[in-house]
Amino acid sequence: MTRRESPDAIADRAIVVDGLVKRYGELAAVAGITFSVPRGTVFGLLGRNGAGKTTTLECCIGIGRPTAGSVRVLGLDPTRRRELSDLRPRIGVQLQATSLPEKANVREVLELYAAYYGIASRAEEMSERVGLDGKLDRQIAQMSGGEQQRLALALALQHDPEVLFLDEPTAGMDAFGRRILWGEVERLRDGGKTIVLTTHYIEEAERLSDRICIIQRGRIVAEAAPAELVARYGGDATVSIAAEGFAPDATLGALGVWTQAGAGWKLATRGEPGLALAAVVTHANTLGAKIVSLDMHRPTLEDAFIAITGETIEETG
Ligand SMILES: Nc1ncnc2c1ncn2[C@@H]1O[C@H](COP(=O)(O)OP(=O)(O)O)[C@@H](O)[C@H]1O
Ligand SMILES: [Mg+2]
């Protein structure tokens, strides 16, 4: 894992986190995390609540000092005051809980942030991008949680930063908000931005991330492209059939491993399960078997997550 990379390879990394540790007293919230993010890609940190995602992100944006290890964002060290002030205008941050001034309205908050970054306000354009057009005069206190989160996204984007940090950006959002945010992330990635996203929604990580890093109890337990995680850890596809008078023949036997339980048969296959399913049905019909139930399961990122971590992503699981 501690493979040395050439300076060129490091130069096209927007973010390099090396051996990051963050302790809170006895607790190692982050217990030695190493990853890097190529420019122009979306990197997803996926894990349960309490895994250490927010803490990792905070260390990247200069909130909270690492106990050990190092972080570089655009080549700058966020623990150094001067480098952090160079970095600030080049990054955008949407935190899990952004506290916005209750009495201000949407336009005023966008103007306030524009002034902070020393740019002209783009209130109209930004509000439209996050689906808050027509709500520029709405007071923060009168907005739903989801609307406030969309405003927080607009605030992270208004100064057109090179790197975006989004912490559980859709937690508590409705379907409309989620669609807007997902669309915006895809558009930003297409525009060459680098994005680090934390989430405990498997679907969100899978849909948006070029690479996913699974974090468990402060450590990285797997890192790869979503499809690669599924292929490597998701296990076999299965086809299950319960049918009177059915038994696999040699041709079906060649598709994978069959197990029998009562009248039910289950095939575990590495091949394309849709084709296996078709072959199973054809064979059952040839035998004149009466199909009682039929099911196909293609491995998912959730299967991979469970195989890797030994737990479901929801704590109740
Ligand atoms: N300021 C803090 N003081 C003490 N413990 C903290 C603090 N912030 C986070 N933690 C603990 O660190 C662990 C990781 O938290 P966090 O990074 O917020 O996880 P995640 O974002 O993955 O849900 C949790 O056990 C959390 O309770
Ligand atoms: Mg968090």
Render pLDDT for 200-210 as a digit per residue (tens, 0 to 9): 999 999 999 99
pLDDT in tens, 267-289: 999 999 999 999 999 999 999 99
pTM exceeds cut of 0.75? yes
- Give the pLDDT score at 1: 46
C-alpha distances (whole Å) from 278 to each of 33, 240, 258, 287, 288 are 45, 12, 16, 14, 15
* Cβ contact 256:269 at 8 Å: yes
Nearest to 122 by CA among 131, 113, 161: 113
Q: What's the chain's length in residues?
A: 317
In which band, very low, low, confident or very high, does the pLDDT at 199 lie, cut at 50, 70 and 90? very high
Q: Which ligand is nearest to the CA of 168?
A: 2
Ligand 1: which of 27, 48, 95 to mutate, most ligand atoms within 8 Å of CB? 27
Which residue's alpha carbon is nearest to atom 1 within ligand 1?
A: 24
The second-level CATH assignment, the architecture, of 8-231 is 3-Layer(aba) Sandwich (3.40)
In which band, very low, low, confident or very high, does the pLDDT at 312 lie, cut at 50, 70 and 90? very high
Residue 187 has pLDDT above 70, yes or no: yes
Which residue's alpha carbon is nearest to atom 26 within ligand 1?
A: 50
Percent of the chain with pLDDT over 90: 90
Question: To which H or E segment does residue 7 belong?
Answer: helix 7-11
- The mean pLDDT value for 157-185 works out to 95
d(CA 57, CA 156): 15
